[in-house]
Amino acid sequence: MTLTNWARNITFSTDRLHLPTSVEQLQELVAGSPRVRALGTGHSFNRIADTAGDLVSVRHLPKDITVTGSGDAATVSVHGGANYGEVAVALQAEGLALPNMGSLPHISVAGACATGTHGSGDGNQCLAAGAVAVEFVGGDGELVRTTGADPEFGGSVLALGALGVVTRVELATVPTFDVRQDVWLDVPIDRVVENFDEIMASAYSISMFDDPATGRQIDRLWIKTRIDPGDPTGVASAPDGTRWGGRAATTQQHCLTDHDASASTAQLGVPGPWHERLPHFRLDFQPSSGAEQQSEYLVPREHGAAALLAVQSLELREVLLGAEIRTIAADDLWLSPCRGRASVGVHFTWRDLDAEVVRAAAAVEEVLAPFDGRPHWGKVFSSDPAAHIERLADFRALVARHDPERKFGNDFLAQHLGI
């Protein structure tokens, strides 16, 4: 059987995929394997999950989503194979929520946390920053649990699969809330640049979508406003995009031009639960694979507008399907591209054209270099992420402790982190 990632731009270097049905089976497998690597839902676009040894998925481990505590102190512990969509549905049933989600609810919690996956919002950190504990099978097959109280916790969740196979993640929660989505079309780029901070701070979560074919404008300004009990429709709280030169969308929109908008979560200002509005895509829409690749760079928040202008100056029409701009709050995770700085994510959805994507990503990296753009771990890049990691020596020591024989190593980790 040929194993590929979701986008099918990566064929894994092994055909051995193991699907243990108990943690004990997983422990035996890891203890007996010289080279093993965890695979989540395969939504990464590079060789981060690859191995020539044993690939292991935890998706057949017993499903168990358990809430502990109540109110602001409530946390949810989820099995390693859980995806954000199923966790969200379970939390909503308990009157709870996660502060944020990525664009696609089908992505696994363990895999998303491992790579620094994020949504948008000035006040929202990457998803891994919401973890309060993690459990994994280390290189010797022993089960390890580490929590926010441990000094190494900052290197243990966003860990690129280098410490072991994650069997559980415990996440902080918040009380449930509602959100409405409004999309504003054709916002002139000069108005966006002039008002960048105001726009990005105007609601709970904002995404700007840019179609390279349409020139100097943001095609869709996608605003997710948190509903305040004093304003149940959100009409008074939702920003009016005409103030930046936009016009209200009167039909449902997709992130990319000319794509089927029925895959998108409900827009047109209709309030609804957080988990049916924060992701861009609906949980009941299941994209099995996509003919696309992605790259993303995280630049310091203060350079967001200049970075947007810089990438707009590139001629990317032949290879770019669309770009997205989001904001992410700072965190202190050792390998996080948002470590120590509030960030703007400059994202590219490329046509599935390998050589052209590599060339286009390199061109983007060149224009973003003056802004110290840090690559997203799960997407296509060619720059050197290690240059940004102050705690690399600490991370290497952590890897040496949990995986002294380097069972979980692969070419990606060797190339980018020297482990």
Ligand X SMILES: Cc1cc2nc3c(=O)[nH]c(=O)nc-3n(C[C@H](O)[C@H](O)[C@H](O)COP(=O)(O)OP(=O)(O)OC[C@H]3O[C@@H](n4cnc5c(N)ncnc54)[C@H](O)[C@@H]3O)c2cc1C
Rounded Cα–Cα distance for residues 306 and 322 (Å): 18
Interaction between residue 107 and ligand X (CB under 6 A): yes
Q: Is the dihedral of CA 186, 191, 193, 199 positive or negative?
A: negative
Main-chain dihedrals φ then ψ at residue 88, nearest 5 degrees? -65, -45
Tokens read off for 242:
């005409």
Distance of closest approach, residue 233 Cβ to ligand X, in angstroms: 27
Please select the residue that binds ligand X; options are 117, 125, 173, 253, rule is CB under 6 A.
117
Tokens read off for 187:
């916002």
Burial of 60 (0-12, 13-18, 19+ CB in 10 A): middle
Give the nearer residue to ligand X in terms of CB position, either 12 or 371. Answer: 12
Tokens read off for 154:
């900052």
Q: Which part of the chain contacts ligand X (CB under 6 A), choosing from 60-68, 98-106, 139-147, 354-362? A: 98-106
Contact predicate 150/327, CB 8 Å: no
Type of residue numbered 336: S
Interaction between residue 307 and ligand X (CB under 6 A): no
Give the nearer residue to ligand X in terms of CB position, either 161 or 375. Answer: 161
Contact predicate 23/137, CB 8 Å: yes
Interaction between residue 241 and ligand X (CB under 6 A): no
Main-chain dihedrals φ then ψ at residue 157, nearest 5 degrees? -105, -60
Interaction between residue 357 and ligand X (CB under 6 A): no
Point out the residue whose Cβ comes nearest to ligand X: 111
Distance of closest approach, residue 368 Cβ to ligand X, in angstroms: 17
Distance of closest approach, residue 57 Cβ to ligand X, in angstroms: 8
Rounded Cα–Cα distance for residues 394 and 232 (Å): 48
Distance of closest approach, residue 181 Cβ to ligand X, in angstroms: 15
**Which residues in 245-304 contact ligand X (CB under 6 A)?**
290
Interaction between residue 53 and ligand X (CB under 6 A): no
Interaction between residue 146 and ligand X (CB under 6 A): no
Looking at residue 52, what DSSP letter applies? S
Interaction between residue 131 and ligand X (CB under 6 A): no
Mention every residue, 6+ apart, whose C-beta is less than 8 A from residue 105: 83, 84, 85, 88, 275, 279, 281, 282, 283
Print the binding letters for residues 378-417 with ligand X: x by CB under 6 A, - otherwise: x---------------------------------------
Which residues in this chain contact ligand X in the complex, by CB under 6 A?
A: 6, 37-44, 48-49, 58, 80, 102-104, 107-108, 110-112, 114-115, 117-118, 160-161, 165-166, 290, 376, 378
